[in-house]
Amino acid sequence: MSLTETIQQIYPDEVYNTLVQIGQIAHRLGLKAYAVGGFVRDLLLQTTNFDIDIMVNGDAIPFATQAAKEFNAECKLIDRFHTAHMYLPGMTVDFSSARKEIYEQPGALPTVSLSSNITDDLHRRDFTINAIALSISPDKPFELVDPFGGARDIERKQIKILHAKSFEDDPTRLYRALRFADRFNFNLEPTTEDLFDTAIAMNAPATVSPKRIAAEIDKCFQEKRPLTLLNKYQSAGLLSFFHKSFTRLKRPAFSFCMVKAVATRLSFKFKNISENALFWSLLLLSIPPMEAQPLLNASGLPHSITNTIWNTLTSFASVPQKLIAANDKFSIYKTLSEATPETTGLMLLCFKQPEITSKLNTYVNELSKIKPAISGDDLIEIGIAPGPQIRDIFEQILRQKLNGIEMTRKDELDLARRISGI
């Protein structure tokens, strides 16, 4: 089957039409356009990938600007890198200019210059399977450009670097090698494996910033089987470059397998729960609590996530004891609702004792959905002044409802009047 037929078979028509149209726009601007990276690799593996990377042998900015105009699409230009993102329904298209890279210092980001030669651009990539281009220009429609034998390595099911200094230049490729091998069930090609071992023996990732390592760990959480990959990172010694205590994961492996299921279960009750924050919190339980905060600050993860992780770790230190001591439904509710929903998730993952799990389940299944029927505005309308008293009133209403007293809206307003004395 030709690649054109494969695209037509595995993708909706919109994807094929989009590629053809982008190729034509490039042609009109006197450029050659190629799909590159994961999209092409996945196409050869006959799987879909709706994050499409397009590379042109010239400046991608005017090209992307024109494409966005013709697609009538939202487009974000990043002038400094000569790249752009275009958002189309159901897919994102990233445009980049063919580049050449020189690594002046191992582990540091490379010096980049534009190049009109697409082999230069493919040569700066991590593995042969990711260094394949697919021409989408009308003169060479859906023709592969594969100077490093990526298609052959996909058939051989192997991850192969492009040159002997690859891991040294960019040790994040060590993490990427294991990630792709695990995702596709591929092996490292023998020379790549030797160079992988040498790079680790030489502590190559020690030159990489915590931010870049955190980004790799974060990607691991998005894989289908994060635990197997995490174990592979750990046995290769790659996690300990993020923090020395990660030579051993303190939480049982099983907990990591359950993160997705627990996050999904909780997402029905708590709209803003973050699976990602739950993964990180579980992972960070393996290091001394005081060391988690500087690590999070250096991780480059979004502040909203690092705050949630930090709050979760802090609560995790005290909430289990409070929960054991909680002797009515209101106290259970108060203990857990004052912490992040991720704290509840983390406890579900880490505790097996019935005196904790039964209360967690009561909170999730029953208590978390109980709310006052009235709002703060209702209280203000009946003449209660905004302030701490409103919080007390809500607490009392909740206490009664959570402990099984049925209350209508009117009952709640009557109670509010009694408490406030109006």
Compose the 43-62 pattern: x for residues touching ligand ATP by CB under 6 A, - for all others: --------x-x---------
Task: Give the tokens for residue 384.
Answer: 């209660």
Q: Does 329 bind ligand ATP (CB under 6 A)?
A: no
CB of 125 to ligand ATP, least distance (A): 4
**Using the rule CB under 6 A, is 170 a contact of ligand ATP?**
yes
Encode burial over 138-164: b for 16+ CB neighbours within 10 A, e otherwise.
eeeebbbbbebbbbebbeeebbbbbee
| Nearer CB in complex with ligand ATP: 53/182 | 53
Question: Which residues, in sequence order, are CB contacts of 246 under 8 Å at separation 6+?
Answer: 234, 239, 240, 286, 287
Minimum separation from the CB atom of position 341 to ligand ATP (A) = 28
- The least distance separating ligand ATP from the CB of residue 175, rounded to whole angstroms, comes to 9
Stretch that binds ligand ATP, among 125-133, 250-258, 289-297, 413-421 (CB under 6 A): 125-133
Residue with token string 């029953």: 366
Q: Shortest Cβ distance from residue 145 to ligand ATP (Å)?
A: 13
Pair of tokens at residue 222: 């998005």
161 or 319, CB closer to ligand ATP?
A: 161
Point out which residues pair with 101 in neighbouring strands.
112
* Nearer to ligand ATP among residue 38 and residue 149 (C-beta): 38
Among 4, 10, 27, 38, binds ligand ATP (CB under 6 A): 38
Does residue 125 interact with ligand ATP by CB under 6 A? yes
* Inter-CA distances, 405 with 230, 398, 401, Å: 48, 10, 5
102 membership: H or E segment, kind and range: strand 99-102
How many other C-beta atoms are found inside a 10 Å radius of the C-beta of residue 40? Answer: 27
Min CB(96)–ligand ATP separation in Å? 9
Decide: is 110 part of the binding site for ligand ATP (CB under 6 A): no
CA-to-CA distance for 67 and 75, rounded, in angstroms? 9
Residues forming the site for ligand ATP (CB under 6 A): 37-38, 51, 53, 125-126, 130, 170, 172-173, 176
